Structure 1
């Protein structure tokens, strides 16, 4: 019966790539639902508590200074609009001088997008669309080329390790230019492990720098490193925005280099993990096909 159905309706049977796409979509949806339930149970009580505390403080301030709550809320709405232009309660570094603008375009092309700085003029917003289109595309190409360089370096290391173990007289007469066969190429698990260690080392080193320069705890600095390097960019922690950072040229350079290296390594790690996930999806499809045909 199953064979007759597959012969009569071959168009209804998706290809392996299509089935992999559908399966991945379902798993991502389930993963997001599970994450939403977990984070909602963790963060919702704190959100309600923060709202209650804010309303209490607003009423106390209104009564203490004899200001109506509506006038106070109107002033706060104006302040929220002013934050887009870089106005803060505590004076920070200039956002749109050359170093500040360079930091902004760096968050654009790397797709981090902290949200601390954003264009306020219509011309700037229109320009950002075309600037980001080209810049983000070039950055993704750079990240892919970075991953290729990492794989090539690992291939060379594996080749020379094999040559050292076998000895010069017992190795074939191939040169380092002919290591593209499967024996000399690193596995995806080796690449993932190396990249994971690299991301861990860069994040730990960067966290040490940020904890000293920004006044954050080490755990907060590690959290910032993951948010920044993974290009999530929530904007709750942003480096290099204090007023005295404008005079710290060395820290600005180190911050940019840390961001670049961290994003490159993390993007490459995500690519390697995605290959492992696809292998897992193919295994699940083969298992389902075996169970269906049994």
Structure 2
């Protein structure tokens, strides 16, 4: 059956790589639809309630101080423009001094992009395009090299633990194929190690942020995942309070923790993606086996 189809319509049988690509695309689309349904059911009610509460407060404020809603909305639009330049209703640390700018470029190069700080000048926006293009590329290379160094370290540790166990061939000599061969950790071992390390870094960083930022521990864990995974919603941002401007130790620890967390999480995502790829290959093999079985049954009948 497969031979017949491949001879008549060879274009109908995609390669393994193409089939895996299509399968992954379908699964991601279904995963996104499921996520959209879940988060919509959870968050839509809160959004409607926030809109209702905001309209009520806006109307009450307008009547209490005898200000038209149009003028009040105009003031709020001006505030939104000023917010992009770093103006906040609550006092905060400077955004564009050297430490603040360093924190900004760190969020750019790590692709977090919290959105709290953004260039407001035309020159700054143009510069960011070229600066981010080179910087993000170099940072991704650094993350890949970090993963390679960790795998090399694990291989060395496994080699030392097992010792040199070369197979002895005829004449008492070690076989050529194994005398220089070093054991390498499996993708599951690497994933487990990165999972433990990422969990330890996240829990430790969450404890620090909970103490320094006044967040609950759950909020701190949420911030760590959003930051370390480079999602960067911007609803929680560390190191932006006014008193943090003078706590240099915390600023340094904050930058180092984010860098370490991003490295570990990026590496964890890479190893999980390898496992997902293996799972996709298994699904494709199962589908191919089922098709061959159906074709065999049809041919025997």
TM-score (norm. length: structure 2): 0.91
Structure 2 unaligned blocks of 5 or more: 167-171, 294-301
- Separation in 2, partners of 1:106, 1:197: 25
Q: Which residue of 2 aligns with 1:160?
A: 160
State how many pairs are aligned.
Answer: 285
Q: Shift in Å at residue 7 of structure 1?
A: 1.4
- Separation in 1, partners of 2:4, 2:90: 74
Is the Cα contact below 8 Å between 1:155 and 1:179 reproduced in 2?
Answer: no
Cα-Cα RMSD: 1.9
- Separation in 1, partners of 2:157, 2:9: 51
- Separation in 2, partners of 1:164, 1:76: 71
Q: Shift in Å at residue 159 of structure 1?
A: 1.3
- Measured against aligned partners, the alpha-carbon deviations of 1:128-148 in whole angstroms (never above 9, x if no partner) come to 001000000000000000000
Is the Cα contact below 8 Å between 1:159 and 1:179 reproduced in 2?
Answer: no
Q: Shift in Å at residue 78 of structure 1?
A: 0.8
Structure 1 unaligned blocks of 5 or more: 167-171
Corresponding residue SS for 2:163: helix
- Measured against aligned partners, the alpha-carbon deviations of 1:96-117 in whole angstroms (never above 9, x if no partner) come to 1111100000000000000000
Q: Shift in Å at residue 180 of structure 1?
A: 7.5
- Measured against aligned partners, the alpha-carbon deviations of 1:76-102 in whole angstroms (never above 9, x if no partner) come to 111111110000001111111111100
Q: Which residue of 1 aligns with 2:118?
A: 118
Q: Which residue of 1 aligns with 2:215?
A: 216
Q: Which residue of 1 aligns with 2:95?
A: 95
Corresponding residue SS for 2:147: helix
Q: Which residue of 2 aligns with 1:10?
A: 10
Equivalent runs, 1:31-180 vs 2, <5 Å: 31-163=31-163
Q: Which residue of 2 aligns with 1:290?
A: 289
Against the structure 1 CA distance between its residues 215 and 106, is the aligned structure 2 distance closer, same or farther, given a 3 Å change threshold?
A: same
- Separation in 2, partners of 1:130, 1:9: 47
Q: Which residue of 1 aligns with 2:249?
A: 250
- Separation in 1, partners of 2:180, 2:47: 54
